[in-house]
Amino acid sequence: MAEVIRIVLSVVIVFTFVAVGVALFLVLMERKVSAWVQARIGPRHVGPYGALQTVADLLKLLQKEHILPAGADRLMFAAAPVVVAVAALLSYVVLPWGPGVIVRDLGVGVLYFTSVLSLEVVGILTAGWASNNKYALLGGLRSAAQMVSYELPLGFSILTVATITGTLSTVRMVEAQPYPWYTYPSVIVAGLVFLVAATAESNRIPFDLPEAESELVAGYFSEYSPLRFALFQLGEYGSLFATSALFVTLFLGGWRGPFELPLVGPVVDGIFWFLLKTYAVVFFFMWVRWTYPRFRIDQLLNVSWKLLLPVSLANLLLAGLLIAGSG
């Protein structure tokens, strides 16, 4: 019985965090960062410095009418945003927030992470198909082609870290990272590949062809109105945060900081550093988004298949050689 309560509590806590600390906060942050990059002011009227802008947006969305497009597939149109949001939520099970602070330390940790994120592709593809809109279908297909292409380099860079640390568990990966972690050349290459592939996986500029508002309106969610649109946002920012958190876990020492905070104890200290680093990585992704132009689709697929894939595969073998030689 106690276990059931723990299960329910962990779902509710993580969901609340993803809704408030990730979706609501990151949308606001995105608007502030874009304003900063473009020398604008950004939202400032609702709440102090516009801090409650996205809360107001959410309240507005709650009062709006759902519109089912003509000729759309009712059931799949409704199910797709839920699939995308839940796939993002599932990846939070294996994120190590601090020493001992994790929902479940699965034995197949990082493999589980990539598995559930691959389910997102299915949601996006069905959303595009179910909308009965040409832009949406094109966006959904492009997105699926892009996400599957970049899953491979992403997987190989995760595997490089797994090879060096000798484990798939996210907790043990953090614990196994010796300082200074960055002196391993394979780790640096894997980290760079991970950053590029993660940008593409989350459909962000310069890899935002699936949504490309200037050519596809909004891609696979063109036809989605109020709350279902909000669920797509939840999924999108949820997986952006989760991928950034995985980057912190694999390459930036996870919950370990350069020094210990006084008085608060190891758990709060760990959570503090983990969140600080993750939000910093999220900021990096936003900075890139508002700075660079978009790739063409052939360029985008070439980067993945002809550059990142061979490089990350060779890098993985190099790391394997190192470990096999030393072991």
Partner 1 sequence: MAEAVAFYGLTAVALGASLMVVLSRNMVHAAVSLIPVLLAIAGYYVLLGAEFLAAIQILIYAGAITVLILFVILLTEGATGLRVRPRNEQVPLGAITCLVLAALLIAVLTRTPWPQTRSSLPEYNPGAVGESFLTAYVLPFEAMSLLIVACLVGAIVVARREE
Partner 2 sequence: MREVPLDWAYVAAFALLGSLLAALPFVVVWLLAPRSQYPQKRLTYESGVIPFGSAWAQFHVRYYLYGLVFLLFDIEVIFIYPWTVVLRQLGPLAFVEMLIFIVVLAVGLMYAWRKGALEWA
Note the residues at the interface with partner 1 (CB under 8 A): 73, 76, 106-108, 111-112, 114-116, 118-119, 121-122, 125-126, 129, 141, 144, 148, 168
178 binds partner 2 (CB under 8 A): no
Q: Which string of DSSP letters, residue by residue, matches 104-143?
A: ---TTHHHHHHHHHHHHHHHHHHHHHHTT-HHHHHHHHHH
CA geometry: angle 121, 204, 230, nearest 5 deg: 65
* Closest of 258, 159, 247 to residue 196, by C-alpha: 247
Whether residue 166 contacts residue 243, with contact meaning beta carbons closer than 8 Å, is answered with no
Residue closer to partner 2 by CB (options 33, 90) is 90
76 touches, from partner 2, partner 1, none (C-beta below 5 to 8 Å by class): partner 1
Nearest distance from residue 269's CB to partner 1, in Å? 30
- Coil, strand, or helix at residue 98? strand
Query: Residue 105 or residue 260: which is nearer to partner 2 going by CB?
Result: 105
Q: Binding to partner 2 (CB under 8 A): which residues in 69-108? A: 69-72, 82, 85-86, 89-90, 92-93, 103-104, 106-108
Q: Does 2 bind partner 2 (CB under 8 A)?
A: no
Cis before 180 (ω within 30): yes
Cα 158 to Cα 17, 189, 237, 312, distances in angstroms: 25, 11, 21, 10
Choose, by CB under 8 A, the member of 1, 3, 45, 179 that binds partner 2: 3
**Residue 240 sits in the site that holds partner 2 (CB under 8 A):** no
Number of helical (H) and strand (E) elements in the chain, helices listed first: 13, 0
Structure tokens at 181: 């972690």
Residue 121: name its binding partner from partner 1, partner 2, none (Cβ under 5 to 8 Å by kind). partner 1
List the interface residues with partner 2, window 36-65 (CB under 8 A): 62-65
Report the residue number, 135 or 255, with the smaller CB distance to partner 2: 135
